[in-house]
Amino acid sequence: MIPVVNGLVLLFAALWLGNLLQSLWLHTIPGPVLGMLLMLGFLTLRQSEPDGLGAVAQWFIRYLSFFFIPAAVGIWFLDSEIVRQWPAILVATVPATIATQLLVALLLQALLKHRGAPE
């Protein structure tokens, strides 16, 4: 039980520090994103996974769809607004999705070349 508590404390500390950085200094970057970057830096410097972090992360991933319920409920009750705004939604989401897929493909190619793996 204690390793799970350690994992939760570590995750929430990263989130809290990210929100603190966002409110004090980096107003344009969301606090949770800064927290993830801080966690990435911490794990990179440590080069090993702290006890309990993997178990907590797996739990959050397993129940990830549960965290989207509020957004789905909002979409359900705002159907007339979505119908009115669908062109803007398409203009925002389609190019962003394509750009994200291209960027991930390029990043994967670069990482595979750096690692020396066959393409």
46-78: pLDDT as tens digits:
888 888 888 888 888 888 888 777 767 777 777
Among the residues of 25-119, which ranges form H helices?
Answer: 31-46, 53-62, 69-77, 79-115
User: Does the residue 2 lie in any domain?
Assistant: yes
Total of domains in the chain: 2
pTM, two decimal places = 0.56
- What does the block give as tokens for 70? 């509020």
pLDDT of residue 48: 82
56 and 2 in a single domain? The answer is: yes
User: Does the residue 67 lie in any domain?
Assistant: no
pLDDT of residue 100: 94
pLDDT of residue 47: 82
79 and 115 in a single domain? The answer is: yes
C-alpha distances (whole Å) from 41 to each of 3, 23, 46, 75, 104 are 21, 20, 8, 36, 20
Predicted confidence band of residue 4 (pLDDT cuts 50, 70, 90): confident
User: Tell me: the pLDDT tens digits for 69-113?
Assistant: 776 777 777 777 777 888 888 899 899 999 999 999 999 998 888
- The end-to-end CA distance of the chain, in Å, is 43
Predicted confidence band of residue 1 (pLDDT cuts 50, 70, 90): low
Amino acid type, 57: A
What residue numbers bound the domain in which 105 lies? 72-119
53 and 5 in a single domain? The answer is: yes
C-alpha distances (whole Å) from 101 to each of 36, 38, 89, 104, 118 are 21, 25, 18, 5, 21
DSSP state of 50: P
